Amino acid sequence: MTTPLYDFRSLAPFERHQLAFQSFDALAPGEAFELINDHEPRGLLMQFGARHPDAFSWRVLEAEPGAWRIRIARVKAGEAAAAVPVAGGCGCGGCGG
């Protein structure tokens, strides 16, 4: 199965978080999606940690100016979730993170 890739850079900030959570909610355990964002999505990571603290993993695949690529997966039961603590918000000005 191909991992879906979503380019968030053309979306409004509130649409980015909404799409991320809709995409995550559609995943079965062990499945993942990737996103590309124009900044480090720290606020989104914090929201995932609050909403799904033991159910997701978060891996930065690329961290370039204007192109952050993140892989978000729904972990299988019994796997360790990767909730990375991050200080501060994402700085996008629209998500509250």
Domain holding 59: CATH number? Answer: 3.30.110
Query: Is residue 90 included in any domain, yes or no?
Result: no
Q: What is the pLDDT of residues 21-40, one digit of tens each?
A: 999 999 999 999 999 999 99
The token pair that represents 17 in the structure block: 């978080």
Give the integer Cα–Cα distance in Å for 87 and 68.
18
- Three-class secondary structure of residue 67 per DSSP: strand
pLDDT for the residue 97 = 42
pLDDT for the residue 14 = 86
Using alpha carbons only, give the angle 27, 29, 35 rounded to the nearest 5 degrees.
45
Query: Is residue 44 included in any domain, yes or no?
Result: yes
> Residues in the chain with pLDDT < 70?
78-97
Q: Find the domain containing 21 and state its range.
A: 5-74
